[in-house]
Copies of this chain bind each other. A is one copy, B any other.
Amino acid sequence: MGTRPGGVVNTRLPQQDRSRATRERLIASTIDVLASDGWAAATVSVIAERAGVSRGAAQHHFPTRESLVIATLEQTFDELTTRAADGEETLPEGPGRVEAVVTRAVEVYTGTQFKALLQVWSAAASDPALRETILPMERKFARAAHRLTMQSLAGGSTDPAVHRLVQATLDMARGLGLADTLSDDSARRKQVIATWSEVLAAALN
């Protein structure tokens, strides 16, 4: 958002656009606060302050922390799925393809968004209501991730062994993501991805 000559832009944005922009800022701030400060710190007022949004405006959009967290999860899962799908066209053909697909899968689990998700996940482990709410979202995302990875690695294969190898790959990616939360694990991760990809490529052939 910049300023146009002679005018203040923000207040000229149609109400609907301003409302959407506020919502986006709150969601981005939720990711940020969860990933850097953890679940306990991520209250609507802290998130609003970090977003530069008044507490009243934040509560107008999201009356409870749960509603904000759910909106954040929905958008995050959508973004991660879209990003992986958009990357489809840039995947190389030939010998480097498997490693490129595995790297893409691991990237899903090693960014700021995954660190934020992990905080929600961890809170849900002891909060049955939150768990019931996020389980179907998580399952839908897991299915999408699996479908995309299957498509990229094995086209329309219906071989159950291939299906499960792709599951194992996503489990490995999730485990690498968890290992990365305490300290930067990127050097080791790169080697593990290369080794896994070699074995996976051989198994797929």
Q: Chain A: residues with CB nearer than 8 A to chain B?
A: 35-41, 115, 118-119, 121-127, 131, 134-135, 138, 161, 164-165, 167-168, 170-179, 181-183, 188, 191-192, 194-196, 198-200, 202-203
Q: Are B38 and A126 in contact (CB under 8 A)?
A: yes
Known: A39-B122, A182-B138. Contact between A192 and B174, CB under 8 A?
no
Complex: how many Å from CA A77 to CA B167? 28
Evaluate contact between A192 and B175: CB separation under 8 angstroms: no
Q: Determine the chain B residues whose CB is within 8 A of the CB of A170 once the complex forms.
A: 175
CA distance A157 to B135 in the complex (A): 42
Complex Cα–Cα for A36 and B200 (A): 37
Residues of B within 8 A of A198 (CB): 161
Max chain B C-beta neighbours (<10 A), residue from A40, A173, A194: A40
Q: Which residues of B contact A127 (CB under 8 A)?
A: 38
Chain B residues within 8 Å of A188, by CB: 167
A100 to B194, CA, bound (A): 25
Given contacts A125-B115, A199-B200, A200-B199, contact A171 B164 (CB under 8 A): no
Q: A35 CB to closest chain B CB, in angstroms?
A: 8
A199 proximity list for chain B (CB < 8 A): 165, 168, 199-200, 203
Please name all residues of chain B whose beta carbon is closer than 8 Å to the beta carbon of A179 when the two chains form the complex.
171, 174
What's the least CB distance linking A40 to chain B, in Å? 6
Residues of B contacting A36 in the complex (Cβ-Cβ under 8 angstroms)? 126
Residues from chain B with Cβ under 8 Å of A194 in the complex: 164
**Is the Cβ of A192 less than 8 Å from the Cβ of B168?**
yes
Nearest chain B CB to A121 CB, angstrom units: 7
Could you show 24 A-B contacts with beta carbons less than 8 Å apart?
A37-B126, A38-B123, A38-B127, A115-B125, A118-B122, A119-B125, A122-B122, A122-B181, A125-B182, A131-B183, A135-B183, A165-B199, A167-B188, A167-B191, A168-B172, A168-B195, A168-B199, A171-B175, A173-B175, A174-B178, A175-B177, A178-B178, A199-B203, A202-B202
